[in-house]
Structure 1
Amino acid sequence: MSPNSLENPFHPPEQQTGIPSKLTEVFLDPATNTALTEALGEDEPSKSEPQQDLLPADISMTGEEQREVEKESYWTREQYIEWAESFGKDENWVDGTFEFQKDGTTVVWGNLNLLSTEIKQLPVGLMEVKGKLIIDINPSLKLNGYPKKVSGYFGCSYNNILSLEGMPEEVGGGISFEESNLTSLVGLPKIINNNLNLSWNKFVTLDDFPREIHGDVRLSDNENLVSLDVLSGVKIGGDLWLKSIPATTIPEGIEIVGVIYIHEHQTDLIADAKRKGYRVILF
């Protein structure tokens, strides 16, 4: 059987394309042969267009969607009770202290005293304390962004609070972070509506210090505090306490209604404060 015996007899023979190179070499001069060969040569395969990187879909949440996510994480009443039982309270205390709102948040219509209860955090969803919030002497406590607002005094002293991130966004009264190991003031409100107590911390400088305090300012016993320069231009409605700090100079321009309290052994700071016209009381 010949090789072509299985071919379709009705299929026309394939047309030969191109010009045999032997013929072009015989009948054409070299230059014309080269030009013709290039003209009849196969085009380079077309290159596919590079795929453009597609921008990721916009998965950012709207404000309403964000609130829904937060709402899903608010503590339930059962979680409040479990938290309260960890420091000796019960569901009656929870129901008498926290008012649960329709959106899952809570409000305290008075003072909330959690002094030395060994709590580690405040309830997620507690939006406002209408009175004072006292959470002193809870060494394992971490600020978690709740409550959002405290209408009165906020006491958070004698804790191991290394950062003010997560403190209430609004505080209507004084603020105390005495002996809390703070090194930074980032997150502290720019206006303090009563006394500000920052004694016994780890400050080296006072960057991000509030610009207006409507009461006393206590910075005593910050053993690393070498600079008070940021206090220039600050308004202090009461006294300024600078006992037992290593700073030896004080800037001009502090608007102090009261006096500056300095320990008698701080001779350089005393001399500089008096030279700049501040009223100084030694003790």
Structure 2
Amino acid sequence: MTNPVKAVTFAEVMVGVDGKTDIDCSNKGLTSLEGCPEKVKGNFNCSGNKLTTLEGAPKNIKGDFNCSGNLLTTLEGGPEEVKGDYDCSNNELKTLDHCPVFVMGDFSCAGNQLKTLQGEISSSKGTKPERCLEIVDGDFNCSGNVLTTLEGSPKIVGGDYDCSNNQLTSLENCAVVVAGDFSCNRNQIISLDGAPRKVAGNFDCSNNKLSTLKGSPKKVDGDYNCSGNELTSLKGAPEEVKAFDCSNNHLTSLKRAPEKVKGNFDCSLNQMTSLKGIPEKIKGDFNCSGNHLTTLECGLKKVGGDFICANNDVLLTEEQVRSAYEIKGTFKS
């Protein structure tokens, strides 16, 4: 027979605390937020407790709200308005019902048990699923859940968007615009259809089950990582990226590779016999090691960084490489 958990309220532990400044009641063993001020002019941190409910939480918080690392299964009773970040990660949430519709800072629901980002809206006509979050001005992190769909996802994210480490097979219903980095790595995605149309930072779709890059945004302002998939072609790859990593796939050709690569280009650990299709200029390092290269014939003219070509079918010498291309960095074989 398990011993009952001793009730520990906010009022008992945080005696005399008002809401005129930040409130930090984290790691106090709280089981209840009973006794909290209704308004907090700064941040409110109740993380690392034993809360199973947010009943009693402040209704209006002018700073950040952090209820991570508790035992919450619902956000019911939580604040109605948060003007900073909202962190409900590492709980036992199965729904985002009762979360704010609009978050002015970052929003993290990572490390829960969410199967969907939708909530249920009740009316006289019954109950129907609806998007919980419309807009997130900062980062949106729903990684490490058990999501099989992105239905209910915010459509506009003002920072980074991270849906990695879920059970997604598709990016349908994803955000349309991501002003920061986009990461959907370590899922089971077979298609990039539905991916954001605009990504202002890095794009990471590595370690999925992609056989094609169709659906990718045409331009990614940061690095593009599609390594560790099942790609046999680069069709659909963006035209311009900062760095490009297509390593550890099943590629036999670099045709349809990005035309402009402003950083490193990594096509190692594939099945290529030639480098045809590679851009003319690579401003960073170039890594083609672990392939089946037997020739250097291709359109490449200049590499601004190192040239790495170890473990190919034919030993490529530094003299051969430097006579074929202009290499500014070191030769590694």
Query: Does structure 1 residue 246 correspond to structure 2 residue 256?
Result: no
- When residues 165 and 94 of structure 1 are mapped into structure 2, their CA distance, relative to the original with a 3 A threshold, is farther
Deviation at 1:128, TM superposition (A): 0.4
How many aligned positions are there?
194
Structure 2's unaligned 5+ residue stretches are 1-92, 108-132, 137-152
2:249 counterpart of 1:201: yes
Deviation at 1:206, TM superposition (A): 1.2
Of 261, 281, 301, the match for 1:235? 281
- Over aligned residues, Cα RMSD in angstroms? 3.0
1:111, distance to aligned residue in structure 2 (A)? 0.7
Larger radius of gyration: 1
Aligned-pair distance for 1:205? 1.2
Question: Which letter does structure 2 place at the counterpart of 1:209?
Answer: A
1:213 aligns with 2:261: yes
Q: Aligned partners of 1:94, 1:196: CA distance in 2, in Å?
A: 36
Counterpart of 2:85?
none
Identity of aligned residues (%): 24
Structure 2 CA distance for partners of 1:247 and 1:149, relative to 1, 3 Å = same
- Report whether the alignment pairs 1:107 with 2:113: no
Matching residue of 1:282: 332
- 2:303 maps to 1:256: yes
| Letter aligned with residue 195 of structure 1 | A
CA distance in 2, matches of 1:230, 1:169: 17
Report the CA distance between 1:142 and its aligned residue: 2.9
Q: What residue in structure 1 maps to residue 165 of structure 2?
A: 116
User: Does 1 or 2 have the higher relative contact order (CA < 8 Å, sep 6+)?
Assistant: 1
CA contact 2:285–2:306 (8 Å) conserved in 1: yes
**Distance in 2 of aligned mates of 1:88 and 1:261:** 47
Amino acid paired to 1:237: K
Distance 1:115 1:160 in 2: 13
Change (3 A) 1:213 1:93: farther
Deviations 1:73-112 (A, max 9, x none): xxxxxxxxxxxxxx956243875455459xx982011111
Equivalent position of 1:10 in the other structure: none
**Alpha-carbon separation, structure 2, partners of 1:93 and 1:115:** 23
Query: 1:213: Cα distance to partner?
Result: 0.3
Query: 1:170: Cα distance to partner?
Result: 3.3
Deviation at 1:114, TM superposition (A): 1.4
Asked if 1:143 is matched to 2:189, the reply is no
Taking structure 1 as reference, are residues 275 and 115 closer, same or farther at Cα in structure 2, changes over 3 Å only?
Answer: same
Q: 1:155 to 1:99 in 2, by over 3 A?
A: same
The alignment's TM-score, normalised by the length of structure 1, stands at 0.60
| Alignment CA distance shift 1:124-1:227 (3 Å) | same
Contact 1:260 1:278 in 2 (8 A): no
Helix, strand or coil at the partner of 2:290: coil
TM-score between the two structures when normalised by the length of structure 2: 0.52
| Match of residue 184 from structure 1 | 233
Matched residue type, 1:132:
D
Cα distance in 2 for partners of 1:122, 1:174 equals 19
Instruction: Name the amino acid aligned to 2:276.
Output: D
Partner of 2:96: 90
